Amino acid sequence: MKQIIVLLCLWSGGLLAQSTTKKITWPAGKKMALSLTFDDGRGSQVLAGVKLLNQYGVKATFYVMPNAIEKTLPAWRALANAGHEIGNHTSLHPCSGNFAWSRSKALEEYSLEKMANELGESNRQISEMLGVVPESFAYPCGQTFVGINENTKSYVPMVHQQFTSGRGWRDEAPNDPAYLNMAQLTGMEMDGQDFEEILPLIQDAAKQGYWLVLAGHEMGTGGNQTTRLSMLEKLIQYAQKPENGIWLAPVKDVTHFLKAN
């Protein structure tokens, strides 16, 4: 009897090991997926950054706020028409009141109903402005809660219901397709980084067969919360070399592929 139990344990353990180490087969035999994402709908994204992306035929995901993109609306319409993904980043960018600049829109003062209304209204406005309905979402400040103390609640289930994915911010690892929470995709910061600092993340993701989602804000030469265009160009050139095996695609494309497979 003891021998049978041991054999059953070894057998079940082997199944567990197989299930947790299985790698997905990416399109065209690629080793990994890589998505470039940018938050807030900042002017530098359409006035400077998108030119570089279009030059190399790369499509990115832009998580926008309606009141931000209305300042340069024709340029955002051109960006959307060029095939870049438009995602939702709320209307007011609510974060914890621990940030002084967010006291008037503190998540601690939100309810699930208030957040649901904001997400729906933001989607409605973006659809009217750009002619697309966002299906991807990025959590402002990477924070996924509303309320305070014993009244704290997660709005991840809401994001799961309304969008095909929800992306975090300043996470510590890429996404393992074998164990994936679509409503809480990890997003790793690329602001302020040189290509040599990003490269190890890409190489590790390729080795593991993972999905790396990079997140940034401004697109330019330097400054606070800025993805350097010089870094981005080197990254794109590296990603487009066939021998590196990188599928460079917007978040929704990778999400659709994973759900279908």
pLDDT in tens, 29-69: 999 999 999 999 999 999 999 999 999 999 999 999 999 99
- Specify the pLDDT at position 21: 52
Q: Residue 62: which of 44, 173, 74 has the closest Cα?
A: 44
Token reading at 18:
């197989």
Q: Are 102 and 94 in contact (CB under 8 A)?
A: yes
Confidence of residue 22 (pLDDT cuts 50, 70, 90): low
Cα end-to-end span (Å), the chain: 40
Mean pLDDT of 183-190: 98
204 vs 103: CA distance, rounded Å = 39
Tokens encoding 112: 């699930």
pLDDT given at position 24: 86
15 confidence band (pLDDT: 50, 70, 90): very low
**Mean pLDDT calculated for residue range 199-216:** 98
Going by the DSSP 8-state scheme, the letter that residue 92 receives in this structure is S
- What pLDDT was estimated at residue 10? 39
Identify the CATH class of 37-260: alpha beta
Any idea where the domains of the chain sit in the sequence?
A: 37-260
In contact, 159 and 136? CB cutoff 8 Å? no
On average, the pLDDT of the chain sits at: 93
Q: What angle do CA 223, 50, 256 make, to 5 degrees?
A: 110
Mean pLDDT value across residues 233-240? 98
Q: What is the pLDDT of residues 139-169, one digit of tens each?
A: 999 999 999 999 999 999 999 999 999 999 9
**pLDDT the model gives residue 23:** 73
**Which tens digit of pLDDT belongs to each residue from 70-92?**
999 999 999 999 999 999 999 99
Pick from 187, 111, 205: nearest CA to 155: 111
